[in-house]
């Protein structure tokens, strides 16, 4: 190899500065703040949370709105994730291995229960729905693909948490904002940890109107080949369609579905 070839190889391996990387990071930071917020954010709240001057936040948000990545409410001026971002995310979920592998099993679960079925994965201390199938009833949950829910108050969240080893579980619980959504929400680390131990023992989590009044959900964790929880599947129904018989049936079917998905996932991925 000649000296010039050696120099060319060295130049190829040398780190390069990507033009615009700093600005891109700022855009991502603002998007993440909007995505992680429990509700819609106005400009005052954004500037308080973002580590940038107010004028910079204005410019970043304006650019994001222009690209359809952020949308602004005309009523109160608050911001939320825009339709273009959700479209991009949906394209990703279309090709997501777990969603593809799980679909057949989700259809079977929906057909056996005739209730709404959800598939969710963890993201920034929340669960994100990546698939949803509905039953034949006119009364359905107001959830959608791409929607985010909290870990401590939902069956998919508690199911995923229950699959974590104790040390990791305690760390995650400590980082959560255990907000009360209904009188039945678990709002202390001790009570939540005890609930998750019961979840492990029975193989499925039960959301007993803890996230929404009049809605009950049963969820079970999905594991990869290394035994790590990577998601959860659930069945959701109104309280009036839930009784002891349905609870036992749905618990068994959800647990079975999660195991089948985990087995298939381990075999393919």
Bin 20: left if φ > 0, else alpha if -120 < ψ < 50, else beta.
Answer: left
Query: Looking at the structure, do residues 62 and 106 belong to the same domain, yes or no?
Result: no
Residues making up the chain, counted from first to last: 269
- Is 10 within the bounds of a domain? no
Query: Looking at the structure, do residues 140 and 81 belong to the same domain, yes or no?
Result: no
Query: How far is 145 from 133, CA to CA, in rounded Å?
Result: 10
The whole-number pLDDT of residue 252 equals 96
CATH code, domain with 171: 3.30.450.40
Q: Convert the pLDDT of each residue in 151-186 to its tens digit.
A: 999 999 999 999 999 999 999 999 999 999 999 999
Query: Looking at the structure, do residues 110 and 230 belong to the same domain, yes or no?
Result: yes
The whole-number pLDDT of residue 138 equals 60
Q: Final residue of a domain: which of 32, 63, 86?
A: 86
Query: Looking at the structure, do residues 205 and 149 belong to the same domain, yes or no?
Result: yes
Q: Which two tokens stand for residue 190?
A: 């001790």
Query: Looking at the structure, do residues 63 and 171 belong to the same domain, yes or no?
Result: no
- Is 12 within the bounds of a domain? no
Q: Does 142 have pLDDT greater than 80?
A: no
Q: Final residue of a domain: which of 86, 110, 126?
A: 86
- Is 228 within the bounds of a domain? yes
pTM over 0.85: no
Least confident of 71-85, 122-136, 161-175, 194-208: 71-85
Is the CB of residue 152 less than 8 Å from the CB of residue 123?
Answer: no
Range of the domain at 80: 18-86
- The tally of CA atoms less than 13 A away on the side-chain side of residue 192 is 30
Give the number of domains in the chain: 2
Query: How far is 267 from 261, CA to CA, in rounded Å?
Result: 10
Query: Looking at the structure, do residues 189 and 143 belong to the same domain, yes or no?
Result: yes
- Is 6 within the bounds of a domain? no
CATH code, domain with 55: 1.10.10.10
Q: Convert the pLDDT of each residue in 7-39 to its tens digit.
A: 444 444 444 455 567 788 888 888 888 888 777
Query: Looking at the structure, do residues 153 and 251 belong to the same domain, yes or no?
Result: yes
Cross-strand pairs, 215? 238
Query: Looking at the structure, do residues 130 and 255 belong to the same domain, yes or no?
Result: yes
Q: Final residue of a domain: which of 86, 107, 125?
A: 86
Query: Looking at the structure, do residues 141 and 227 belong to the same domain, yes or no?
Result: yes
């Amino acid at each position: 190899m000649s000296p010039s070839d050696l120099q060319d190889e060295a130049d190829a391996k040398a780190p390069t500065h990507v033009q615009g990387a700093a600005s891109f990071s700022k855009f991502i930071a603002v998007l993440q703040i909007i995505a992680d917020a429990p509700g819609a954010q106005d400009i005052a709240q954004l500037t308080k949370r973002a580590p940038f001057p107010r004028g910079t936040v204005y410019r970043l948000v304006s650019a994001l709105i222009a690209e359809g990545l952020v949308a602004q409410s005309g009523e109160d001026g608050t911001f939320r994730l825009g339709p273009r971002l959700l479209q991009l995310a949906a394209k990703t979920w279309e090709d997501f291995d777990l969603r593809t592998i799980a679909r057949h099993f989700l259809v079977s679960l929906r057909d056996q229960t005739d209730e709404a079925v959800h598939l969710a994965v963890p993201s920034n201390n929340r669960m994100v729905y990546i698939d949803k199938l509905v039953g034949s009833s006119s009364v359905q949950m107001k959830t959608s693909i791409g929607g985010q829910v909290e870990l401590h108050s939902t069956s998919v969240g508690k199911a995923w948490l229950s699959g974590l080893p104790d040390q990791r579980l305690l760390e995650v619980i400590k980082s959560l904002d255990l907000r009360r959504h209904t009188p039945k929400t678990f709002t202390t680390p001790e009570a939540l940890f005890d609930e998750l131990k019961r979840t492990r023992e029975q193989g499925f989590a039960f959301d007993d109107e803890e996230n929404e009044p009049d809605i009950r959900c049963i969820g079970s964790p999905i594991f990869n080949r290394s035994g790590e929880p990577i998601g959860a599947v659930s069945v959701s129904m109104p309280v009036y369609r839930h009784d002891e018989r349905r609870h036992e049936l749905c618990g068994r079917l959800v647990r079975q579905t999660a195991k089948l998905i985990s087995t298939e996932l381990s075999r393919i991925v």
